[in-house]
Structure 1
Amino acid sequence: MGKLIWVCAALMAVFVTGESLTCNTCRVGLAGKCLFGSSMTCSDSQPNCYWGKLAFNISRLMSLETQGCLASSLCNQTESGALLTAGYTVTRTCCSIDRCNGATSIQLPLTAALGAAILAIWSTRGI
């Protein structure tokens, strides 16, 4: 009887942990490359992997990407708005397979990441 309980407990653990997705995370990405990324296990309140893009309407070159876990109610939506005088569009695309939200990140030193961000902003202003 004791062995049966252990087998049942092991099977339950496999099914419970098997339902949580592992997703790539990225707080800031430029030009399709994640600057500071890792991976995480999604929670019940945010059960989906997502890839998001913030694009400014003033230039196609100026966009930021994010990755992580997201609530189902926010999946596969596009939102528009304005920040000061610049219009923007945010698109979030969800998926439900482990690490389906993009490739792993590259790790850049902070100075390289800041340089890339400044270069992207500078190139959109035409300076």
Structure 2
Amino acid sequence: MNPIWKAVIGLSALIVAANCLNCRKCSVGVFGSCFFGSDVTCDNATQSCYSGEAKFNATGFLTLQTRGCLDSDLCGLTLTGSLLNAAYTSTFSCCTKDMCNGATSVQLSLTVALGAAVLSLLSGFWEL
């Protein structure tokens, strides 16, 4: 292959990589604290960073948070469902600047994080 074409292809790849969006990622967040948080570079198909919340109707106070990359078509949606017979409502809000969905991270063990989430869920069942 001609060296000029190699240079054009290499430069194009760098430009595409430079245009990828960087977002905060949070797999699980409870009470405003993110467990297992990190920074992530979205792929080229993803145009938005998002912050999502799932509110459990039975407990009234338990809200799980998540953050990361999301296709813009899913931004602004409100979804409903149930987990272990507990109804929840999820919402997704998006932004399009690097790290615009900022979140603080707290590194806790998986056992502690899951235990806190389960206890919060169960407290709603005991009130019923």
TM-score, normalising length: structure 1 = 0.78
The root-mean-square deviation of aligned C-alpha atoms, in Å, is 2.7
Is the alpha carbon distance of 1:83 and 1:114 closer, same or farther for their aligned partners in structure 2, counting shifts above 3 Å?
closer
- Provide Cα deviations, 1:13-35, integer angstroms capped at 9, x if missing partner: 66433321111111111011111
- Flag structure 2 segments of 5+ consecutive residues without an equivalent: 1-7
Note if contact 2:51-2:66 (Cα within 8 Å) is conserved in structure 1. yes
- Flag structure 1 segments of 5+ consecutive residues without an equivalent: 1-7
Are 1:95 and 2:88 an aligned pair? Answer: no
- The structural deviation recorded for 1:53 is 0.5
Note if contact 1:55-1:64 (Cα within 8 Å) is conserved in structure 2. yes
Q: Give identity over the alignment, percent.
A: 47
Cα distance between partner residues in 1 of 2:24 and 2:85: 32
1:120 corresponds to: 120
Cα distance between partner residues in 2 of 1:110 and 1:84: 19
3-state SS of paired residue (2:106)? coil
- The structural deviation recorded for 1:76 is 1.3
1:76 corresponds to: 76
TM-score, normalising length: structure 2 = 0.78
Cα distance between partner residues in 1 of 2:66 and 2:82: 19
